[in-house]
Amino acid sequence: MKQKKKWYDFLWIVSLSYLILGFFNILFAWLGLLCFFIPLIIAIAGGNKAYCNKFCGRGQLFSLIGGRFGLSRKKDIPKWLKSAWFRYGFLIFFFVMFFMMLWNTYLVFAGTKDLNTAVTLLWTFRLPWRWAYHGTLFSDGVAQFAFGFYSVMLTSTVLGLFTMVLCKPRSWCVYCPMGTMTQLICKAKHVTSSRKK
């Protein structure tokens, strides 16, 4: 009855490694751009959500920990969490925070601000992360971006784990900004074809 496992069913290992590498050298955080651009490229070029449906290691990680290992109450998520206004609102909020992070990086690049070797969790809590900083390449800004991007990734993982435990394993996928964005792109792409139906 079970569907056969494919190579991409193991991409959760990549996601897990990414999170772990960030504890050793923050510059690895740059690799995270892959799970930013790949889904966008698939959605824009292919017009589908194959990334979510097949390749996303984070979603797999949640279904593994919450599903296989049972670390989840498996309860329905609250209604507001799946409402359109929350999903789109969260996407916008995420974008605003993302651009603030980019702006911060720019300031460090420009030399107006000093490098801050902290990881900001949930946009509020500054965790000292100096141990993972072993110098940078080219400019302090390169490291600043790594800290900023890793903050984004860690924050979304923590939020995802939180809702995984409280609700269903992959609850994060309901309000995941990448998921919402790729779905929006697909909707936009198929506006004409779906109108015909």
CA atoms of 27 and 139, how far apart (whole Å):
12
- In this complex, which beta carbon is closest to another protein, that of residue 80 or of residue 138? 80
How many whole angstroms separate alpha carbon 162 and alpha carbon 175? 13
- List the one residue from 52, 91, 164, 185 that touches ligand SF4 (CB under 6 A): 52
Regarding 157 and contact with another protein (CB under 8 A), the answer is: no
Q: Would you give the DSSP letter of residue 125?
A: E
Alpha helix stretches (DSSP H) within 45-176: 50, 57-62, 84-110, 140-166, 172-175
Give the dihedral of Cα atoms 119, 34, 24, 145; nearest 10 deg: -40
Quick check: 169 binds another protein (CB under 8 A)? yes
Q: Binding marks (x or -) toward ligand SF4, 3..42, rule CB under 6 A? A: ------------------------------------x---
User: If contact means CB under 5 to 8 A according to the sort of partner, which of ligand SF4, another protein, none does residue 58 touch?
Assistant: ligand SF4
Quick one: which H or E segment has residue 127? strand 125-128
Residue nearest to ligand SF4 (CB): 179
Minimum distance of ligand SF4 from residue 56's CB (angstroms): 3
Q: How many Å apart are CA 58 and CA 79, to the nearest integer? A: 23
- What element of type H or E holds 75? none
Rounded to 5 degrees, what angle do the CA atoms 128, 131, 137 make? 105
Residue 178 interface partner, choices ligand SF4, another protein, none, CB cut-off 5-8 Å depending on type: ligand SF4
Please state whether beta strands 118-121 and 125-128 pair in parallel, antiparallel, or not at all (unpaired): antiparallel
Q: Cβ 141 to ligand SF4, closest distance in Å?
A: 27
Cα 58 to Cα 151: distance, rounded to the nearest angstrom: 15
Residues within window 19-78 making contact with another protein, judged by CB under 8 A: 43, 47-50, 52-54, 59, 63, 74, 76-77
| 108 binding partner (options ligand SF4, another protein, none; Cβ < 5 to 8 Å by kind) | none
Which C-beta is closer to another protein: that of 116 or that of 183?
183
* Cβ atoms < 10 Å from Cβ of 66: 24
Q: Does residue 108 interact with ligand SF4 by CB under 6 A?
A: no
Select 71 or 77, whichever has its Cβ closest to another protein: 77
The binding site for another protein (CB under 8 A) comprises 1-3, 43, 47-50, 52-54, 59, 63, 74, 76-77, 82, 87, 167-174, 176, 179-180, 182-183, 185-187, 189-190, 193-194
